[in-house]
Amino acid sequence: EKGGYDHFMMKEMTEQPKAMVDTLAGRLNTDGIRLDDINLDAETMKNINRIHIVACGTAYHAGMVGKFYFEKFARIAVETEAASEYRYKDPILDKKTLLIVVSQSGETADTLAAIRLAKEKGARVLAVTNVVGSSIAREADDVLYTNAGPEIAVASTKAYLTQVGCMLVLAMHLGQLNGEIISEEMKRLGHALLNTPELVQKAMESKEAVKTFAYQHFNINDLFFIGRGLDFYTCLEGSLKLKEISYIHSEAYAAGELKHGPIALIDDGTIVVAVCTQEKVFEKMLSNIKEVKARGAFVLAIVQEAHKGIASEVDEVFVIPNMDDDITPIPTVVYLQLLAYYLAVARGCDVDKPKNLAKSVTVE
């Protein structure tokens, strides 16, 4: 049932290129986005003035990427919040709000509670979920399925990747409806998205390099992830994945926040994974890398091909092909999934069934 792999997690990571194809199928055309499965039309969107994205764990991280995309491409104000926080607040929520929930299982108790709260206040609810007929799918007004196929491993991988894909597709759709996205941009993103299955495949082919790195460093107690913009969300996801399956303490920081506190924790040999795929902030990342290097950190950088020269500044580099900066979270997270996986395997952890965790959190 594991298809010849040692763990469901590896099987599911390997399935990611196909999952991405299935997520995009029928939704992405040469001239734009078509989402036949949902009923959000231009008329409805005229009455929407804000979006709330609510989810838990890994899905919450996909929601953060979503906020970035919605604001950039549809120019709509977005708040992203953990469902367990949202439901116990008094969020500014009315019939002009679109609530987008993200959930692999479609059964997460806090996320479901957020839907009920929003519906009480008259908001419209769109669910991005993987499980057809799940509670969340049934209670939402619209459902966009991730089409990732069944995910068994507790650590979410292909679901996350497809959630991010759905976020971009949705942002393009909304930008198209409200006229905020120009056709050039639409073409650029469409083209970039079509390339993602191949980019994910390439990332998976780097698994031996990631494995070698993991087996050299499995004895660590802490690991830091730093990044800016989209890379920061990838860091949050990589850090969560690492904690849950390898039990290594890790932190993810927006790199600019380092000097506001956490840099105090960087010592001789502390591993810092610096995700630097965003051209706009590349130089800023370089400065942050120099700061942690000056304190003795061992730095692993992830960069696009164009910046592979960073090798002279750091201890180790994983190079991804040059691509559109807006889609880098999709292949980059694969490296961090692999890193968590191999560190966990090297430490003898039960990768598919980490201690204290359940696949679906149906009680709060």
Give the binding site for ligand F6R (CB under 6 A).
56-59, 103-105, 108, 111, 155-156, 240, 244, 360-361
DSSP 306-357: GGGGGGGTSSEEEEEPP--GGGTHHHHHHHHHHHHHHHHHHTT--SSS-TT-
- Pick 240 or 345: Cβ nearer ligand F6R: 240
E strand or H helix at 100, and its extent? strand 97-103
DSSP 183-234: HHHHHHHHHHHHHHHHHHHHHHTTHHHHHHHHHHHTT-SEEEEEE-THHHHH
Q: Is 123 exposed, middle or buried (0-12, 13-18, 19+ CB in 10 A)?
A: buried
- Pick 311 or 358: Cβ nearer ligand F6R: 358
Cβ atoms of 102 and 55 within 8 Å: the answer is yes
CB of 157 to ligand F6R, least distance (A): 8
- Pick 8 or 73: Cβ nearer ligand F6R: 8
CB of 93 to ligand F6R, least distance (A): 20
Nearest residue to ligand F6R on Cβ basis: 57
d(CA 86, CA 118): 10
- Pick 232 or 298: Cβ nearer ligand F6R: 232
CB of 102 to ligand F6R, least distance (A): 7
Question: Which residues are known catalytic residues?
Answer: 359
- Pick 119 or 243: Cβ nearer ligand F6R: 243
d(CA 26, CA 20): 12
CB of 359 to ligand F6R, least distance (A): 7
DSSP 154-191: SS-SHHHHHHHHHHHHHHHHHHHHTT-S-HHHHHHHHH
CB of 207 to ligand F6R, least distance (A): 19
